[in-house]
């Protein structure tokens, strides 16, 4: 009865196991991969951006923002930094984005594994849970050959994003079998496909831009940063950040347009001034050369094509109307989004088990006593920049502590 089962040995599951074991609970962690923390290894391009000093509002999306705020107050970025410092991992700060000083994601995964080992957490790898059951106040986790039993179960199976790390939607199935609902999970922090044929001509171009997402014609989200044009559409951090809204809007059969301000909000007046100032000495230039020094060549060509200005026409011969069209286009370079990239290219999922189905920040289920949920399985997704791991640490820590209090008090 005193046993806690942790389903999933990723970021949130490892944290939950450590937090519970530090409270004196007996913990068994079941992980289907041959080693724990596999997704952790690929985070931050192998460097692991494990949290962020900037926790201002709007960094997390969920159905219950106040819940996320409360949870982060209980175990926030400073707590995560202190936790890892105590495990021998000081943080390296890059403009608020925090990484292990070693620069290696493996050190974060190893430190968690070592601490779990020190605390005598039983770690059963190569153990895929096939189903979970709640019977007479006990939890059973069934695997191919074995049944594991516990007085509490922490579900920390993550989301299906990045399936090459072993990720799957199993956790949602387990949560549903124990009475929960699941907000449809969809890929997030990923690139988007665009309908425009000229997208392919821009492949490889990187351009600073203000990115505005229009859903059914209304502004839904805005970001600024370096957009990467690809053969299929748009990518780069600002596109990743808005992709969660794109996924959901398209699922709801709404239209999605991305409008790029290639002059990053500096205004069409400034653009006109740039043209005016250089008019005398650049009047004989044509094609991409006409926009030399303002935009990369491939982008200049597409802009001229979309503005209906012949590539052969010298800049000095552009009509006022043509120049106005071009100036307007630079501020509103539009793409029609057809879909988001799939789970294979997504860093996280948006959707999952609603926070409203938990008993506050104990992370305990309000449907099945003794069941706790943590990590990406829940309907919380963070922005790029360490926020998703912070949520894994926060929810894992709170779930582990509360589960330990429960089993220890029942002993």
Residue numbers at the binding site for ligand FAD (CB under 6 A): 7-13, 30-33, 38-39, 42-44, 48-49, 128-129, 156-158, 161-162, 166-168, 170, 347-348, 375-377, 386-389, 392
Nearer to ligand FAD, 43 or 286 (CB): 43
Q: What residues are paired with 340 via a beta bridge? A: 192
Name the minimum Å distance from CB 16 to ligand FAD.
Answer: 9
Nearer to ligand FAD, 44 or 400 (CB): 44
Nearer to ligand FAD, 162 or 290 (CB): 162
Name the minimum Å distance from CB 22 to ligand FAD.
Answer: 18
Name the minimum Å distance from CB 208 to ligand FAD.
Answer: 22
Nearer to ligand FAD, 164 or 216 (CB): 164
Checking phi first, is residue 29 left (phi over 0); if not, alpha (psi -120 to 50) or beta?
beta
Nearer to ligand FAD, 161 or 213 (CB): 161
Sequence-distant (6+) residues with CB within 8 A of 90 are: 84, 100, 101
Nearer to ligand FAD, 175 or 407 (CB): 175
- Give dist(CA 250, CA 229) in Å, integer: 21
Name the minimum Å distance from CB 353 to ligand FAD.
Answer: 11
CA 337 → CA 13, 69, 250, distances in Å?
Answer: 35, 32, 9
Name the minimum Å distance from CB 395 to ligand FAD.
Answer: 8
Nearer to ligand FAD, 109 or 220 (CB): 109
Nearer to ligand FAD, 263 or 343 (CB): 343
Name the minimum Å distance from CB 43 to ligand FAD.
Answer: 3
**128: exposed, middle or buried (C-beta count within 10 Å: 0-12, 13-18, 19+)?**
middle
Residue 149 CB neighbour total at 10 angstroms: 15
- Give dist(CA 318, CA 286) in Å, integer: 10
Name the minimum Å distance from CB 321 to ligand FAD.
Answer: 47
Residue whose C-alpha is closest to residue 173's, from 219, 211, 217, 128: 128
Q: What residues are paired with 142 via a beta bridge? A: 131, 147
The residue number with the shortest CB distance to ligand FAD is 10
Name the minimum Å distance from CB 137 to ligand FAD.
Answer: 23
Name the minimum Å distance from CB 98 to ligand FAD.
Answer: 10
Nearer to ligand FAD, 44 or 351 (CB): 44
């Amino acid at each position: 009865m005193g046993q806690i089962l942790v389903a999933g040995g990723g970021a949130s599951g490892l944290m939950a196991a450590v937090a519970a074991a530090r409270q004196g609970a007996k913990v068994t962690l079941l992980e289907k991969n041959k080693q724990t923390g596999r997704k952790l290894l690929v985070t931050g391009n192998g460097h692991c951006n494990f949290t962020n000093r900037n926790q201002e509002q709007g960094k997390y999306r969920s159905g219950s923002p106040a819940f996320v705020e409360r949870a982060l107050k209980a175990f926030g970025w400073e707590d995560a930094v202190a936790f890892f410092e105590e495990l021998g991992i000081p943080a390296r700060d890059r403009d608020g984005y925090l990484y292990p000083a070693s620069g290696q994601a493996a050190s974060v995964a190893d430190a968690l594994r070592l601490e779990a080992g020190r605390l005598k957490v039983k770690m059963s790898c190569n153990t895929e849970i096939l189903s979970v059951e709640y019977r007479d106040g006990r939890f059973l986790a069934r695997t191919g050959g074995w049944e594991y039993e516990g007085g509490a179960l922490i579900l920390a199976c993550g989301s299906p994003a990045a399936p090459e790390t072993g990720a799957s939607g199993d956790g949602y199935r387990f949560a549903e079998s124990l009475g929960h609902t699941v907000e449809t999970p969809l890929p997030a922090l990923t690139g988007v496909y665009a309908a425009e044929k000229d997208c392919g001509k821009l492949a490889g171009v990187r351009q600073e831009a203000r990115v505005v997402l229009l859903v059914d014609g209304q502004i839904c989200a805005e970001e600024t940063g370096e957009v990467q044009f690809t053969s299929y559409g748009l990518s780069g951090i600002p596109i990743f950040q808005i992709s969660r809204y794109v996924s959901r809007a398209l699922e709801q059969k709404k239209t999605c347009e991305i409008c790029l301000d290639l002059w990053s909000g500096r205004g069409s007046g400034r653009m006109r001034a740039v043209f005016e100032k250089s008019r005398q000495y650049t009047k004989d230039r044509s094609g991409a050369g006409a926009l030399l020094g303002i935009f990369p060549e491939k982008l200049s060509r597409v802009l001229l094509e979309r503005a209906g200005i012949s590539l052969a026409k010298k800049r000095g011969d552009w009509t006022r109307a043509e120049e106005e069209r071009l100036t307007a286009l630079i501020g509103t370079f539009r793409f029609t989004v057809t879909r988001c990239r799939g789970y294979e290219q997504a860093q996280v999922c948006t959707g999952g088990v609603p926070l409203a189905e938990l008993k506050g920040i104990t992370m305990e289920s309000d449907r099945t006593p003794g069941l706790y949920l943590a990590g990406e399985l829940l309907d919380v997704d963070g922005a790029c920049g360490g926020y998703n791991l912070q949520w894994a640490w926060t929810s894992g820590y709170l779930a582990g502590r509360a589960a330990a209090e429960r089993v220890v008090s029942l002993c």
